[in-house]
Structure 1
Amino acid sequence: MANTPQATKRIRVNHDARLRNQSVKSDMRSAIKDVESAVFAKDAEAAKEALTDAVSKIDKAVQRGVIHKNNGDRKKSSLMTKVNQLAN
């Protein structure tokens, strides 16, 4: 348990930030799964639409500091590779 007022506030602030980050990360993961499921179903059109949404969510997570920039770039690259292979 926190012994000082500063430590108590830190716990509260970190908890609130964690909840916000959790929401952003969950949305990002859901968008990624939508792309992967469309690729698995071999639906190129749906995959491309889902990809634009996923890229937007990944960029937003990077912008908010939820994930590292390189991690976001790697996720986007992986998804784009899957969608492009589907198109060929």
Structure 2
Amino acid sequence: MANTPQSKKRARQNERRYAVNKARRSRIRTYLRKVEEAIAAGDKDAAAVALRAAQPELMRGVTKGVMHKNTVSRKLSRLSARVKALG
């Protein structure tokens, strides 16, 4: 339990940051799910559009510190390869 004023403030900041990061992660997962669903449906055009929409969201997650740069690069690379293979 936080006792000092500084630790109480830190606890409040952590709660707010946790909520923001959770929302960002959820938003990123939604964009990824749209790409996955388009790939599963076999719709190359929709998958390509969804991937183009997902890329900036993923990179924003990197700049905000929600995800690691290499993780996002790996996900984008694998998704783009799967979209390319649909044709």
TM-score, scaled to structure 2: 0.96
Residue 67 of structure 1: SS of its match in structure 2? coil
Alignment partners' CA distance in 2, 1:7 and 1:29:
32
Match of 2:80 in 1: 80
Query: Runs in 1 of length 4+ with deviation above 2 angstroms?
Result: none
Match of 2:61 in 1: 61
Match of 2:11 in 1: 11
Gaps of 5+ in 2: none
Quote the sequence identity (%).
40
Match of 2:30 in 1: 30
1:8-44: CA deviations, max 9, x gaps?
A: 0111101111111111111100100100100000001
Gaps of 5+ in 1: none
TM-score, scaled to structure 1: 0.95
> Aligned residues, how many?
87
Q: Which amino acid aligns with 2:74?
A: R
Residue 66 of structure 1: SS of its match in structure 2? coil
Alignment partners' CA distance in 1, 2:13 and 2:78:
34
